[in-house]
């Protein structure tokens, strides 16, 4: 599999069909590149073959294929208000056969299709039973989350302009060390915690090592002090502490 040729064809497609200097498409272009690199790094850390590492890279390139259509059409990345971008990507790539344009060997289509479909879901579907496919689902989910978390920890984070406070369901979820379901997210603090809680769904040692290199815990503490007032900081104290303890325990286990 010639990943350089695939990458060039994808870039040509994006340049021909989208304005890559537009705010949203620019963000997704660079997110795509970083996620592809992270996917390959995870695959390498698992001692997968070079061909499998390249497959992970290609999966990273195409996991958000529909995001460019989404932004161009709706000027939004909110799947609830537009279309589920993973389902849309599968529709474009595999139902409309756009995947044929990128010279990807057909034997990889099943893994690419399923992993793309599953990358943004709350949990991997129980209908996915092939072990190799599950592995690639986990790789792209980790890579995607790692880049999202890295973006979140930059000071320019934009929180939704909603009410403050934290819903009880979000607090209880953080206590259980599990992902926060979007259906419980009402306030901007809920949104912030939902994103930080992505760490509960990471699958590989590489991912927690990456958090350590990102100085995740230190940056979260600084960001909370920067973004939120004293009352909000007090509300965040317990759920944030749960998240940070979880990450610290994971990184200690690896060391």
Q: What are the domain boundaries of the chain?
A: 1-152, 156-255
Q: What is the pLDDT of residue 31?
A: 96
Mean per-residue pLDDT, 51-78: 96
Q: What is the pLDDT of residue 254?
A: 78
Q: What Cα–Cα distance (Å) separates residue 216 from each residue in 36, 51, 219, 223? A: 21, 31, 5, 10
For residue 35, pLDDT beyond 70: yes
Give the right CATH number for 1-152 from 1.10.150, 1.10.3210, 3.30.420, 1.25.40.
1.10.3210
Quick one: 219 exposed, middle or buried, by C-beta within 10 A (0-12, 13-18, 19+)?
middle
pLDDT tens for 99-158 read 999 999 999 999 999 999 999 999 999 999 999 999 999 999 999 999 999 988 886 677
Q: Give the Cα separation of 52 and 13 in Å (integer).
A: 24
Q: What is the pLDDT of residue 156?
A: 62
Q: Give the Cα separation of 24 and 74 in Å (integer).
A: 10
């Amino acid at each position: 599999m010639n990943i350089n040729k695939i990458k060039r064809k994808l870039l040509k497609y994006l340049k021909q069909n989208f304005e890559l200097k537009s705010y949203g498409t620019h963000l997704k272009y660079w997110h795509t590149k970083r996620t592809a690199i992270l996917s390959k790094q995870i695959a390498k850390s698992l001692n997968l073959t070079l061909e499998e590492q390249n497959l992970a890279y290609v999966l990273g390139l195409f996991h958000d294929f529909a995001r460019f259509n989404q932004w161009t059409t709706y000027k939004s990345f909110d799947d609830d208000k537009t279309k589920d971008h993973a389902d849309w990507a599968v529709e474009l790539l595999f139902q409309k056969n756009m995947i044929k344009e990128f010279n990807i060997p057909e034997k990889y289509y099943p893994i690419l299709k399923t992993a793309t479909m599953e990358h943004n879901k709350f949990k991997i579907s129980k209908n996915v039973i092939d072990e190799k496919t599950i592995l690639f689902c986990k790789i792209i989910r980790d890579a995607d989350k790692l880049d999202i978390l890295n973006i979140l920890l930059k000071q320019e984070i934009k929180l939704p302009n909603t009410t403050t406070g934290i819903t009880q369901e979000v607090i209880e979820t953080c206590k259980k060390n599990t992902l926060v379901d979007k259906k419980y997210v009402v306030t901007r603090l809920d949104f912030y915690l939902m994103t930080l809680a992505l760490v509960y769904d990471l699958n590989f040692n590489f991912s927690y090592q990456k958090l350590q290199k990102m100085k995740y815990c230190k940056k979260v503490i600084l960001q909370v002090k920067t973004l939120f007032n004293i009352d909000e900081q007090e509300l965040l104290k317990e759920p944030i502490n749960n998240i940070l303890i979880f990450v610290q325990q994971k990184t200690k286990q690896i060391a």
